[in-house]
Amino acid sequence: MTAERSNASPLLEAAGIEKSYGATRVLRGVNFRLQRGEIHALLGGNGAGKSTLIRIVTGLASADAGRIALRSARDEGKPPVIAVVHQELALLPELTVAENIGIVHAPSAFGLARRGRGRAVAAEALRLIDPAMAERVLDLPARRLSLHEGQVVEIARALSIGAEILLLDEPTANLTAGETEKLFVLLRRLAREKAIGIVFVSHRMKEIRALCDTCSILRDGRTVVDAAPMMALSDADIVSHMGQPAHRAADSRERTQGAGDPAKTLRLDGPDDTSLDIRPGTILGLAGAPSGPSALIAMLVGARSASPWRLSGEGIAAPFRSPREAIRAGVGFVPGDRAGKGILAQLPILDNVVAARRVRGSRGLARAAEREECAGLVSALQLKAGSIWDLPGTLSGGNQQKLLVARWLDLPLRMVVLEEPTRGVDIGTKRDIYALIRRMADAGAIVVWWSTENGELLELCDAIFAFDTDGTPKGYLAGERFDEDGLAELTGMAA
Ligand SMILES: Nc1ncnc2c1ncn2[C@@H]1O[C@H](COP(=O)(O)OP(=O)(O)OP(=O)(O)O)[C@@H](O)[C@H]1O
Ligand SMILES: [Mg+2]
């Protein structure tokens, strides 16, 4: 390419990027361009190489081959500052918001002077984004922030150091619908008013459409769509470029609800005289801000023995005293916090998959049988792994999620509790997981499923139990209110 005027050249241009981990060729020639003021979707199935590309662009990993050019639009002599926001926060929990922002600014010779200045910089950066929030959170320790507030603080921190490129790797995976919309308003404003170039990674087609104007798609480590206008691609085009099988549209509501043995009905009692009878085979959605669903879930899975919630029925009385007791009673759990609660990071994929079978202890499987069972589940879920002996940390985010679901498949369960099981999972795999959820219900389990994606709850659940924003149970959604509006109203998250 010949020399161009600097304001026409991209902020970021990567060409022919290659990267292998051992024998695994992760990137095999990736091209990517980001213009200023653009919101650019970086798409691809689980394991396609999106996060790896982001790590390379930010210097966290080095490429084996290829070229990266960075050009600031503000200062031709310098590369633009790049900031990354992940689905997990990168704030120090015990420091205040002001300190978390101030900490990235160059230290001066005098500690005290620096502290005062850091606070001023932080206040200014946050006020630009959200003046009301700035007043409220500036002196709070970061651990007291909601995830959305934490992300806003990270973005403010990025702006305070003059970032021109913002890379967001599945930032909405843990946000509620209302929080996602607020984040999008902010991102659009940054792109428009500050000409910041934004890369947005997500598996949620609706969000991608709502936010992005340009789209690049990776498939098996190659760029298959290079900076196409979003409008030029239909959803079906995108799915097919990603190399995912086309699925039939909603095939969901054809089964009879709660078809299992009525004698196995479970009763759930909770605060404010809440009481529900749940038939086996029911898919019960939980909707609303995290605090309400997570308190209920903690009781169901044996993580909290002091709880206002009770579960009772033939052969079951909860709160359980431990997770082990819950598992033995036939309650499976796919936790939302992969890294903290779900994945056994030091053990190979094999042990991660058969872990629940071992705790149940009902079928003392021989090692060889375990291996076979694990291999079967891995292929049924199309879990992309080098070998079942690899550590789970080598899997992409979506494949780690599949690992947690695999753990409970084909076990005789009374109940399976799912926290955002499709978080970070690509579009094709989402459909597969929906089918697995239905398979668990059809096998007679009660499925309790918390999701921040109201659309998927409405599509698959027989009933939805909603909590409002402060975690109070608000009751059932059913009948003619069983739609987005009804749910938004019940959860107090109407847009
Ligand atoms: N440190 C590593 N060692 C071995 N393999 C790795 C390592 N890091 C990534 N990989 C492999 O690289 C591939 C691409 O991973 P990457 O995380 O970039 O995918 P992704 O597109 O972000 O997927 P997802 O949508 O699931 O987040 C995966 O198959 C993964 O197993
Ligand atoms: Mg990723």
User: What is the per-residue pLDDT across 380-437, written as a single tens digit (0 to 9) for each?
Assistant: 888 888 899 999 998 988 888 889 988 998 888 999 999 988 888 888 888 888 988 9
Confidence class for position 252, pLDDT limits 50, 70, 90: very low
Question: Which among 451, 455, 465, 464 has a CA at the least distance from the CA of 401?
Answer: 451
Confidence class for position 131, pLDDT limits 50, 70, 90: confident
Q: Kindly list the protein residues whose Cβ atom lies closer than 6 A to any atom of ligand 1.
A: 21, 24, 26, 44, 46-52, 384, 394-399, 424, 426
Same fold, 12-91+145-241 and 252-490: yes
CATH number of 252-490: 3.40.50.300
Question: What pTM does this model have?
Answer: 0.78
CATH number of 12-91+145-241: 3.40.50.300
- The per-residue pLDDT for 38 is 97
Q: Between vectors from CA 349 to CA 217 and to CA 241, what angle results, nearest 5°?
A: 15
- The per-residue pLDDT for 257 is 52
Q: What is the residue extent of each domain of the chain?
A: 12-91+145-241, 252-490
For ligand 2, the distance from its centroid to the CA atom of residue 201, given in whole angstroms, is: 8
**Ligand 1: which of 394, 422, 429, 430 to mutate, judged by most atoms within 8 Å of the beta carbon?**
394
- The mean per-residue pLDDT over the stretch 3-13 comes to 66
pLDDT at residue 97 is higher than 60: yes
Residue carrying structure tokens 């550590």: 391
Q: How far apart are CA 251 and CA 312, in angstroms?
A: 33
State the average pLDDT for the chain: 86
pLDDT at residue 95 is higher than 80: yes
- List the beta bridge partners of residue 331: 415
**Ligand 1: which of 19, 21, 56, 202 to mutate, judged by most atoms within 8 Å of the beta carbon?**
21
Across 87-96, 195-204, 474-483, least confident range = 474-483
- The two tokens of residue 237 are 């085009």
- The per-residue pLDDT for 416 is 96
Considering only CA atoms, which residue is closest to atom 7 of ligand 1? 394
- The mean per-residue pLDDT over the stretch 58-66 comes to 94
Confidence class for position 322, pLDDT limits 50, 70, 90: very high
Q: How far apart are CA 491 and CA 353, in angstroms?
A: 35
- The per-residue pLDDT for 259 is 60
